[in-house]
Copies of this chain bind each other. A is one copy, B any other.
Amino acid sequence: MQSKKPTLLRGMRDFAASQVFKRNYILDTIRHTYQKYGFLPLETPALEHLDTLTGKYGEEGDQLMFKILNSGDFLAGISDQIKDYKALSRQITAKGLRYDLTVPLMRYIAMNRNTLVFPFRRYQMQPVWRADRPQKGRYREFYQCDVDTVGTQSLLYEAEIIVMIHEVLLRLGIEDFTIHMNHRDVLKGLATLAGAADQAHALGAALDKLDKVGKDKVLEELKDKGFLPNALAKLMFIFDLPTTQKDRWAVLTKQLDSNQIGTREMQKILDYTHSLGLEEPSITLDLTLARGLSYYTGTVFEVKMKHLNWGSIGGGGRYDGLTGAFGQTGMSGVGFSFGVDRLYEVLEELNLWPSPLGYDTQVMLANLDHLSEQWALKVLATLRKNEIRAEIYPETVRLQKQLQYAQKRQIPFVAIIGSEEQTAGVVALKNMQTGAQKPCSLASLLQELS
C-alpha cells in the first residue's frame, strides 16, 4: 500500500456537497425542460465496444478516446513482433469509454429499432471522457446534457431546440446569450461561390477556428488549401455581416440563391420558432459557424454568452448519416447538448445561484452526557419522523467543540438538552447566526423548522 499523499488524475475533479447541489440545480432545470417538451430519459453504459466508438469523431477523436486494456493475459496469442504501439493497441484493447452521448444513442437505436417508437425522442445526461490536454475550463471527464429526435426530417425540432435553449437559460436567469446558427448547405453554397464547390469541408474546418486563431490565420489556412485570392475576396463579406438579423438575411440571400436548401430551411425554422411563441429569439446567423464534428449535415447551432468570451455553453445540429454507420440509412436526427461546466461557470460569474440550493442539515442536537444523549436521541427520532433533516453530535465532548462543528458545517440551529431542559421538557434552541438561545417545546421546535 502506498502512503504518500494521493492525488486526482489530471483533468479529473471531485465535487463537494456545495458543488453537487449547484450542478444538480443545473441538471434538474435542464431535465425539467426536456421532459416538458416530450423527451424521455435514456442511460447507456460508460463502456462501449471500440468498434462502436471509433471512426465517428474523426482522427482526433479516436486518439483522445480512453481505451481499456483487455482483461487477463492480453498478450496471449499475440506475435511478439508488434513494436508499433498503434498496431499493438488494436490487439490489446476492445473497449473504450464513451466520447459523447450521440454515438451511443445511434448504437442504441440500431439495436432496438424494431421496438422503438419513431420519431424517437430522448434526453441523456451522463458524463463522457476525453483524453484531451487539460486546461482552464476543459476537463477529461464532464457531463453532457443531450436531447435528440431521430426518425424525422421535420424542422419543427430545430425550432423546439431553439425554444428549449431559451427556456433553460431564462430559467437559470441567463439572458445575455446568443444562439449562433448556420447550415452545412450554406457552407457548400459559400464554397461554390468561391469557385471551390468540392471544398466545403475545408472551408468549414478553417472557419471553425476563427474564434481561436483570428481571421488572418483562417485566410492563410484557406490559401494553403488552394483557395485563390479572388475566390477569397468573394467570401470576405462573411466576416463582416451587418448587425441586425434582417440585414444579415438580406446579405445572405443576395449572395446565395434564396431558394438554396440551407437558407430555406433556416427561414422555416425561424418561422416555427415564432409560431411556438418566441417573438424575438436570441439568434444570430453566423456564417463562420461550422462545428467540428464531421457528422452534421444540416443546420448547426452553438450558444455563446454575449459578453463572456468563454466559448460555447452548448451546441448541436442535424445529422442525416449517423445511423448509417450502424447499418441503417435514411434516419435523420437533430440534437443539442448543454455543457454543464460552462453553465456552472456562467452562473458562478454572474452570481445567479438561487438560495437555498441544497439539503443541508437543519438542526444539530448537542450531546452533553449519557442522559442528555438519551433525550436527544428521542427528539432526533421525532424530528426525522417529521421530515426534518437533523443529526446529533456523536460524542460527549465539550459543548464548545460541538458548536464549532455545527458552525463549520453551517448548520443553522443547535438544540441543547441539559438537566434544566430535561426537567422542563424543552430544548434550548440556539440560532447559530445570531447566537441567541431560547427554550423551545418540541411542538414549537417542529414548527420553527418545518
> Please, what's the 1-or-0 string for A1-24, where 1 marks a CB less than 8 Å from any CB in chain B?
111111111001111110011000
A272 with B107: CB separation less than 8 A: no
- A361 sits at the interface (CB 8 A): yes
Tell whether, in the assembled complex, residue B394 and residue A119 are in contact, meaning their CB atoms are under 8 Å apart.
yes
- Kindly state the separation between the CA atoms of A377 and B51 in the bound complex, as whole angstroms: 42
In the complex, which range does the number of interface residues on chain A fall in? 35 or more
Evaluate contact between B8 and A45: CB separation under 8 angstroms: yes
Residues of chain B with a CB closer than 8 A to A405's CB: 117
Does residue A261 face the partner (Cβ distance < 8 Å to B)? no
- The residue on B at minimum CB distance from A88 is B75
Return chain B residues, CB-CB under 8 Å to A382: 277
Please judge, given known A-B contacts A92-B69, A152-B395, whether A108 and B44 are in contact too, CB under 8 Å: no
Q: At the interface, yes or no: A412 with Cβ under 8 Å from chain B?
A: no
Please encode chain A, from 52 to 86, with 1 for each CB lying within 8 Å of some chain B CB and 0 for all others.
10011000000110111101111110001001010
Whether a CB of chain B sits under 8 angstroms from the CB of A398 is no
Q: A1-B56, A46-B46, A360-B40 are in contact. Are A83 and B75 (CB under 8 A)?
A: yes
Residues of B within 8 A of A83 (CB): 75, 80
Q: Given B5, B69, B85, which contacts A93 in the complex, CB threshold below 8 Å?
A: B69
Q: Is A176 an interface residue (CB 8 A)?
A: no
Per-position contact with B for A382-406: 1 when CB-CB < 8 Å, else 0? 1011011111101100000000010
For window 342-394 of chain A, which residues contact chain B by CB distance below 8 Å?
358-361, 364, 373-374, 377-378, 380-382, 384-385, 387-392, 394
| Cβ-based interface call for A213 (8 A) | no
- Residue pair A38, B394 in contact (C-beta under 8 Å): no
- A104: nearest residue on chain B (CB-CB)? B14
Contact with B along A94-120 (1 / 0, CB 8 A): 010100000000011011000001010
Are the C-beta atoms of B12 and A47 separated by less than 8 Å?
Answer: yes
Tell me if B43 and A7 are in contact (CB < 8 A): no
Structural contact, A74 and B89, CB atoms closer than 8 A: yes
Which listed residue (B9, B377, B385) contacts A48, Cβ 8 A? Answer: B9
Q: How far is the CA of A362 from the CA of B292 in the complex (A)?
A: 37
Q: Are A131 and B74 in contact (CB under 8 A)?
A: no
Chain B positions within 8 Å of A129 at CB level: 46-47
CB proximity of A412 to chain B, nearest CB, Å: 13
Q: Does A318 contact B (CB under 8 A)?
A: no
B141 and A47: CB pair below 8 A? yes
Measured CB to CB, the closest approach of chain B to A286, in angstroms, equals 26
Report whether B67 and A42 are in contact in the complex, using a CB–CB cutoff of 8 Å. no
Q: Smallest CB-CB separation from A93: which chain B residue?
A: B69
Once the chains bind, are B69 and A68 in contact (CB under 8 Å)? yes
Docked Cα-Cα span, A167 to B381, in Å, equals 11
Give Cα distance in the complex from A294 to B117, angstroms.
48
Residues of B within 8 A of A88 (CB): 75
Q: Is A127 an interface residue (CB 8 A)?
A: yes
Instruction: Kindly state whether residue A447 has any CB partner on chain B within 8 Å.
Output: no
Contact A17 B38 (CB under 8 A): no
Give complex CA distance A84, B318 in Å.
48
A322 CB to nearest chain B CB (Å): 10
Would you call A6 and B110 a contact (CB within 8 A)? yes
CA A97 to CA B326, docked complex, whole Å? 28
* 22 pairs from A and B in contact (CB 8 Å cutoff): A1-B56, A5-B327, A6-B110, A6-B326, A13-B45, A14-B44, A17-B42, A21-B41, A36-B387, A37-B390, A40-B358, A46-B141, A47-B140, A63-B71, A76-B85, A152-B395, A156-B392, A275-B373, A275-B377, A277-B381, A277-B382, A277-B385
Q: Top 4 closest A-B pairs, CB basis?
A: A38-B391, A277-B381, A154-B394, A17-B40
Supply 9 further A-B pairs (C-beta < 8 A) apart from A6-B111, A73-B85, A277-B385.
A3-B326, A5-B111, A9-B48, A20-B40, A20-B42, A46-B141, A69-B93, A152-B394, A277-B377
Chain A residues proximal to chain B, CB less than 8 Å = 1-9, 12-17, 20-21, 35-38, 40-49, 51-52, 55-56, 63-64, 66-69, 71-76, 80, 83, 85, 88-89, 92-93, 95, 97, 107-108, 110-111, 117, 119, 121-122, 127, 129, 131, 140-141, 149, 152, 154, 156-157, 167, 272, 275-277, 324-327, 358-361, 364, 373-374, 377-378, 380-382, 384-385, 387-392, 394-395, 405, 408-409
